[in-house]
Structure 1
């Protein structure tokens, strides 16, 4: 069955460019184009929509107002947010595993968004997606996140920040170490650190962040390097630049 999609953008060139780019994906069927959130509500009420390409900044009601309404549905359509925000302002999308396109839309990035959306629909993940969308559109969403929504191929898993014991860098990903399992999440360690409560987490190495309550013992290896042992037994390297705050945390604990 084709993927039925809706384009919502107040600027006609934006709608046209996106429609022409999506024409390269024959399994995707355009249902309607709208220039406002009000028009989108009508289209959504009249038709079964799988995916909404939603501009965030629109006069009158923003795209986020419509997204917040759709988030109340148990199984909302998937939303691909279209935004002119800089890359530094899209951390929230990545934390909640929501897809987005930066203007001007890149064809390769659009193809990636199409593939991700199709995979979620094939795995019937609209309810899991709905939970991620509700967390993102929560009126208190600007506060530090309480959950991370981790996207793998065709799936979204919800991880409570309170369950994270320590975090390890893996290039453009991080490994979230939980009790008994490790989860790979697509966000850099530096960007994730900015979203964590410093009262709960401490950077101890350029490649590692630990939960303060998990800190057990600190030891020198004799060659000038240091290692930290956590209560669960994990051993984490410690950089010289983070040694002083770590010692202070140990003393306070």
Structure 2
């Protein structure tokens, strides 16, 4: 029995902004499930201004049709409420194709951009856990049927179906609710590096070692930073692979090697075979 085909993801941070639509389009045409967009609070080494990953993803949302879009948004230098809002907005703009690559920059220079100092390992893990948990609560703060659009009574929404989350984290609190309705996917797909130790909160876990032990539940994607031909060896070992080309030409070469897995859609959860989560407040 042959191994199931891999979900393919590709990091586009090495691709110039002007080439992003062509790069994402090539990956989409080749059947890739999603693209990721790395980021940093610091300027590029060249001194050029860095266009924030969420903005790049929003730009691609109207220039692609099926592929998932996963900007890296940082838990340590972004307000959790704004982070959750940005991702929900991306899911609406893309018709349900948003994902969140959880980033946790913790260098002195990086955190100095927001007036913070580096966290110890336990503090960093707790910060990431708190931000993921509150983002998920905020996405659920509007029930699916909160918008009623009752012309006869002039009611746009049912206020009883919009909820405060009243979250208390170690370093922040959020009352909520979100300022946007629930994302089309219910929950944006959350992609978490295995090194953060938060596999249980992820929809997709990124591992450097394909043999790494991951908690049951999330999909497992292996990082493939060189020798893309190795992706043929990983079918049946992991659920997906994330590739890291450094240019559009390199991406084109990788696309030629891809075994092909047509993107199912219409949402990224559909493509990855992930269920649409029940709203936590509606379930309660």
Q: Specify if TM > 0.5.
A: no
Task: Report the TM-score when normalising by structure 2.
Answer: 0.30
Select the structure with the greater relative contact order (CA < 8 A; seq sep ≥ 6).
Answer: 2
* Greater radius of gyration (CA): 1
